[in-house]
């Protein structure tokens, strides 16, 4: 007979015990997306990739492409003071604590205890005591106890895996809030600058219509105009004044929104012009769909799926036996001075094996619950991926059409200004009625306001595209996930 090598057998048993983990291992599901986006962004996309990428790193501070220090400062303040982001950061801290708690189960638990008691036996008791026996009983105890559950079936490992995935999911959720906050601040800032540009335009329009009114009054006094021209000029001036009031209201709303997003009540932003902002570079056609993997909301959904998948193993492990080891060592004595002497030494060690026999289907029900939650997380992940793909396509489509509209409105505005100039000259020379001037004024005003509006829509489409892509892409269009910020301080630097 061959001699049994118990050391090798013990090693194999140890590997089995430490390597066995019930439940399914995670495999990333296929999203089933096309390889690239079919839509192009339009609007001068040549050289976009090299402009957006800094070295080999994915661009995270995409709002800096607008080259506006005021916007950069507003986003930085929002990342520091925004309450939604502060709540998200606090949730990360909570998840980190839960992950540490789950990881502590890998180690034994040690407890130090001490007790002291004094009892008195009654003079009339069921068991008579000898006359010389004291009726008082003293007891002093001190012990160090340890308990440890051997992870036979991977329940602790699966629980730790789930807690770690929850931590990452919460971290990516925080990054999603940070990305959204930057987007909201940028949109509100663009709206503010659009109102500034419209107000600057309307101030010129008011000045022009006030001058036209003075000309009409002069011509009326000279008998070269009718009262009808005067009333029309006054009506046109009042309409411009009403537009000014509405634009001031819109600017105040945008400024108040920025104050809320940045956590700074009473914030004031100096006026500027939207048309001064550069149009950031955008990606060319053929953008790979895999870029959306860097979006923090998709990473969040995948980590939630990993956590739900691991919890199936936690539920299945409850069907198998559990082995716990406990032990204690200490001293027990009636006198405190003798508590730590050799005769007072006491110890105990025990092992307990428990296995469910009948629980009326409770454990199987919990497995079914965990499996159902995993299917929900899977559906949510696939939905998040396809939603992100749609949002990128929507942003590309909006950017393409708004870029073409921007160019068309620019041409329209230039033509309307030339028409107004000619109409004013013809009226002053007496070759055309004032109605022609009024019509040219309205056309020029509408064309310029429409140009500002479509420029605002174009810049908002660029913001939507950067948000949809998760903030940027790699040079050469190679996907690279964006690692979440480790803590609030690092996030606040962005």
Question: With 0-12 CB in 10 A as exposed, 13-18 as middle and 19+ as buried, what is 285?
Answer: middle
Taking the chain (494 residues) in consecutive chunks of 10 residues, what is each chunk's mean pLDDT?
46 50 87 70 42 44 88 94 92 92 88 79 62 68 84 89 93 93 94 93 84 81 81 86 92 94 91 86 69 86 94 91 83 66 75 86 92 95 91 88 90 91 84 80 87 92 88 45 36 33
Mapped onto helix, strand or coil, the DSSP state of residue 330 is: strand
Mapped onto helix, strand or coil, the DSSP state of residue 109 is: strand
- Whether 51 is in a domain gets the answer yes
> Which residues 6+ apart lie within 8 Å of 142 measured at CB?
113, 114, 115, 330, 331, 339, 340
Distance between alpha carbon 425 and the CA centroid of its chain, in Å? Answer: 57
Contact 23, 158 (CB under 8 A): yes
- Whether 431 is in a domain gets the answer yes
Q: What is the CATH number of the domain that holds 419?
A: 1.20.1600.10
- Whether 388 is in a domain gets the answer yes
Question: With 0-12 CB in 10 A as exposed, 13-18 as middle and 19+ as buried, what is 193?
Answer: buried
Q: What is the pLDDT of residue 230?
A: 86
The neighbouring-strand residues paired with 345 are 331
DSSP string, 56-103: TBPP--GGGGG--HHHHHHHHHHHHH-HHHHHHHHHHHHHHHHHHHHH
- Residue found under tokens 């537009």: 243
- Whether 141 is in a domain gets the answer no
- Whether 382 is in a domain gets the answer yes
Domain count, the chain: 1
The angle at the Cα of 425, spanning 423 to 429, to the nearest 5 degrees, equals 115
Produce one character per residue of 425-452: b if its CB has 16 or more CB atoms within 10 Å, e if not. Answer: eebeeeebbbebbbebbbbbbebbbbbb
Q: What is the pLDDT of residue 12?
A: 46
Q: What is the pLDDT of residue 408?
A: 93
* Alpha-carbon distances, residue 474 vs 164, 217, 296, 318 (angstroms): 28, 64, 16, 45
Q: What is the pLDDT of residue 115?
A: 79
Which residue segment(s) compose the domain that 170 sits in? 20-107+152-320+364-493
Mapped onto helix, strand or coil, the DSSP state of residue 118 is: strand
Q: What is the pLDDT of residue 216?
A: 80
Contact 219, 225 (CB under 8 A): yes
Q: What is the pLDDT of residue 90?
A: 94
Q: What is the pLDDT of residue 478?
A: 37
Q: What is the pLDDT of residue 46?
A: 36
Q: Residue 323: phi, psi to the nearest 5?
A: -120, 125
**Predicted TM-score (pTM) above 0.85:** no
């Amino acid at each position: 007979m061959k001699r049994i090598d118990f050391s090798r057998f013990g090693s194999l048993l140890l590997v089995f015990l430490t390597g066995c983990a019930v439940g399914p291992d995670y495999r990333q599901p296929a999203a089933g997306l096309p390889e690239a986006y079919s839509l192009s962004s339009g609007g001068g996309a040549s050289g976009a990739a090299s402009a957006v990428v800094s070295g080999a790193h994915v661009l995270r501070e995409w709002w800096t492409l607008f080259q506006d220090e005021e916007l950069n400062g507003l986003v930085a303040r929002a990342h520091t003071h925004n309450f939604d982001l502060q709540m998200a950061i606090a949730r990360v801290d909570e998840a980190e604590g839960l992950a540490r708690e789950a990881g502590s189960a890998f180690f034994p638990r040690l407890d130090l205890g001490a007790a002291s008691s004094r009892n008195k036996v009654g003079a009339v008791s069921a068991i008579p005591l000898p006359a010389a026996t004291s009726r008082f009983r003293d007891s002093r105890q001190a012990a160090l106890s340890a308990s440890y559950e051997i992870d036979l079936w991977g329940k602790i490992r699966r629980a730790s895996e789930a807690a770690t995935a929850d931590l990452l999911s919460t971290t990516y959720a925080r990054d999603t809030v940070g990305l959204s906050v930057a987007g909201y601040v940028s949109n509100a800032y663009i709206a503010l600058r659009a109102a500034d540009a419209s107000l600057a335009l309307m101030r010129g329009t008011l000045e022009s219509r006030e001058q036209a009114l003075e000309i009409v009054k002069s011509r009326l006094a000279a008998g070269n105009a009718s009262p009808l021209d005067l009333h029309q000029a006054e009506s046109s001036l009042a309409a411009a004044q009403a537009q000014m009031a509405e634009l001031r209201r819109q600017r105040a709303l945008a400024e108040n929104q920025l104050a809320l997003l940045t956590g700074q009540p009473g914030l004031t932003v100096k006026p500027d012009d939207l048309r001064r902002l550069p149009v950031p570079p955008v990606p060319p056609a053929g953008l790979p769909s895999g870029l959306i993997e860097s979006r923090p909301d998709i990473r969040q959904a995948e980590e939630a799926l990993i956590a739900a998948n691991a919890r199936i193993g936690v539920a299945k492990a409850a069907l198998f036996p559990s082995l716990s080891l406990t032990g204690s060592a200490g001293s027990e004595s009636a006198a405190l001075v003798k508590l730590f002497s050799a005769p007072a030494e006491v110890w105990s060690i025990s092992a307990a094996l428990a296995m469910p026999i009948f629980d009326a289907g409770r454990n199987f029900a919990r497995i079914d619950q965990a499996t159902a939650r995993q299917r929900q997380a899977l559906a949510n992940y696939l939905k998040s991926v396809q939603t992100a793909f749609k949002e990128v396509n929507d942003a590309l489509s909006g950017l393409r059409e708004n870029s073409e509209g921007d160019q068309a409105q620019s041409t329209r505005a230039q033509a309307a200004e030339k028409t107004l100039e000619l109409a004013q000259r013809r009226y002053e020379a007496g070759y055309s009625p004032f109605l022609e001037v009024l019509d040219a004024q309205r056309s020029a005003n509408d064309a310029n306001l429409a140009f500002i509006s479509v420029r605002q829509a174009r810049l908002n489409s660029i913001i939507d595209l950067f948000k949809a892509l998760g903030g940027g892409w790699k040079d050469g269009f190679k996907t690279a996930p964006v690692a979440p910020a480790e803590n609030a301080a690092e996030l606040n630097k962005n």
